[in-house]
Homo-oligomer: A and B are copies of this chain.
């Protein structure tokens, strides 16, 4: 399955395509779509829409994965602008007939590292490890987009929070010393 992860932003939207052929997951392409901060909002949105349509057309994914709608922003204005970008991205998916999946940030962290409060760095390490990369792609928006792909690919996501980790993920977690927390009773 070809999974397209998108990390929406008006200035910079990260994307990444992962080809998932269980148990392997391979990075096909990652990148960003930038818009000109001096242009009008509507022109920036048109640039973003054009970029996303190009990515979808070139990479031919079966699903688009985005972070769930989130509301915890320090600046409400930034959150609303992100909403503009996310709206245009989801529209591009719908008009292409693409399935959309959305996961909360905590689930992405848990699917990759075993716990929902992992740091950005721990998540990035797991992206690098699971995709067999030399280092985390820059800018960070690309790595965040790839984390969404891997969350979608993780069987753990489907099996619930106490489900078994896939072998490779479990090995990687052991390597990282990132052992899933468990509550004793």
Instruction: Identify the A interface with B (CB < 8 A).
Output: 40-43, 45-46, 49, 69-73, 75-77, 79-88, 90-91, 93-95, 100
Contacts and interface: CB of A to CB of B under 8 A. Distances in A.
Given A40-B100, A95-B46, A100-B42, A83 B79 contact: yes
A46 B46 CA distance: 15
Given A42-B90, A46-B91, A87-B86, A77 B69 contact: yes
21 contacts: A40-B94, A41-B69, A41-B90, A42-B90, A42-B100, A45-B87, A45-B94, A46-B95, A49-B95, A71-B76, A76-B76, A79-B83, A80-B83, A81-B83, A83-B84, A84-B86, A84-B90, A85-B87, A86-B87, A87-B88, A91-B91
Contacts of A90: 41-42, 45, 84
Q: Could you say how many copies of this chain the assembly holds?
A: 2
A159 B139 CA distance: 46
Contacts of A80: 69-71, 79-80, 82-83, 86
Contact of A77 (B42, B49, B71, B100): B71
Contacts of A40: 94, 100
Q: Considering the complex of A and B, which 6 residue pairs feature the smallest CB-CB distances, nearest first?
A: A83-B83, A84-B87, A87-B87, A42-B94, A71-B76, A46-B94
Contacts of A73: 76
Contact of A42 (B45, B79, B82, B91): B91
Contacts of A71: 75-77, 80
Contacts of A45: 87, 90-91, 94
